[in-house]
Chain A
Amino acid sequence: MVAKATGDIIIIMFLSWLMLIGVSIVMALLLQELPKSILLSIIRVFIGIALIGLWLLTWFKLVSFYFWRKIKRNYMKRSKIL
């Protein structure tokens, strides 16, 4: 037997992995499109860090939102029954 929320967490993990792959594709595109100078290399690194930061923030906010919605729904419902 497994916890009922296991499937939900797998979906969250899969979505965050897809986002990471998306970030990689954007970074690959940036490496291809931008000319290779020192200034633009620095800009590329900053864009890369910003994209990874955005990825982590989206991941956290999504989970946080989903978690509290589920907690409110499931635990409040049970409290009413009890």
Chain B
Amino acid sequence: MINSINLIILPIISFILTFLLTPLIMKFMIKIGKTGIDIHKLNKPMIPDMGGLSIILGILISAIVMYMLNELTAIVIASLLAALIAGIIGLLDDIFNLGGILKPVLTIFAFLPIWLMGTYSPHPALPFIPGTRLFIVYSLLLPFSIAVTANAVNMLDVINGATPLTTIPVFIALAVSGVLLGGRGIEVISMVAVASLIAFYYYNKYPARTFMGNAGDFFIGGLIGALAVTGRLEIVGIVALMPQIMNGFYILSSMKRLFEHRSVKDKPVKLREDGLLEASDNPKAPISLLRLLLMKSPEHEKDLATSFFILSLVSCVLAIITAYLTTIRLWGV
């Protein structure tokens, strides 16, 4: 049963915390020299990095309030711990640059809290098949659930505002699907994440005043994966993350190996002298979602961010339809 007051109060707390913490983190990052170049701008400005730490703090402090309000369930605790492990790996990558292979390998361990607390069910619901029996296959795939989503969200964070714009609809889809399928207990934490991402978007939107950083990307991606698993919304999560999965799948398929984006010599996108982005016609460059969006003509970064948001919205509508289809039985299956 969802407590409607908590569903309003907790996201407000999360919004205010993230909104107030982000400028403080930005100042701190400038002070310690943790800045990055905004490569899609002509003047190449230096922007404070790791602003996504405010999202982690905003959501975790809201979770403490959730605990005080008796809203914190084992499902939410396991999901937050899994996301936190992913976030810490992202933080280590921000500081030490873990490389293209070690980083995704380490994120595999983020599933441990879910496994140890037993907050998963090896009966994922598929469209027209409400309950499958996939004990072995599910157990084999479980370790990759957080690693795939965390890395997929991170790989799509290539332009200003990309992560908030592409993950806010995903959390809304998870919350709506959770309610549709009888309340799995992930609705409040999903809305807390939405509020935090909206607050962060104010600073991350074009032209960005801070970057999300790998810590924020991995935490948000990890939380999506963890909520999809613990909330028994695996197929909903896959459909809602279609833009991220498309992006990651195309890049890995065209590069045929795990790699660190900084090490890619043939960039998929080029910045023109008029400030527009255009797709590279180099066959060696990876095919990314950004490059696909530029296949017809060069575009402005702001328009590309809007396109990302629209793609995410469409996939989330499809995800909610998919959630409904998982309740339908075909031929008595």
A binds B: yes
Of the residues A8, A24, A60, contact of B296 by C-beta under 8 Å: A8
Asked whether B304 lies within 8 Å of A3 as measured between CB atoms, the reply is yes
Q: Collect the chain B residues with CB atoms within 8 Å of residue A74's CB.
A: 295-297
Question: In the complex, A8→B49 CA distance in Å?
Answer: 33
Say which one of B15-23, B53-61, B306-314 lies at the interface with A: B306-314
Known: A6-B310, A60-B253. A28 touches B331 (CB 8 A): yes
Describe A's contact surface by its main secondary structure. Answer: helix
Least CB distance from A48 to B in Å reads: 8
Asked whether A60 lies within 8 Å of B297 as measured between CB atoms, the reply is no
Contact flags A25-37 to B (C-beta < 8 A → 1, else 0): 1011101100000
Of the residues A10, A25, A59, contact of B330 by C-beta under 8 Å: A25
Question: In the complex, A4→B310 CA distance in Å?
Answer: 12
Q: Number of contacts between A and B (CB, 8 Å)? A: 119
For residue B47, CB closer than 8 A to chain A, the reply is: no
For residue B109, CB closer than 8 A to chain A, the reply is: no
Least CB distance from B253 to A in Å reads: 6
Most B CB within 10 A of own CB, among A4, A10, A14 = A4
For residue B180, CB closer than 8 A to chain A, the reply is: no
Asked whether A2 lies within 8 Å of B303 as measured between CB atoms, the reply is yes
Known: A24-B129, A29-B331. A71 touches B314 (CB 8 A): no
Question: In the complex, A78→B21 CA distance in Å?
Answer: 46
Asked whether B314 lies within 8 Å of A4 as measured between CB atoms, the reply is no
Residues in A31-75 with C-beta less than 8 Å from chain B:
31-32, 41, 45, 49, 56, 59-60, 63-64, 67, 70-71, 74-75
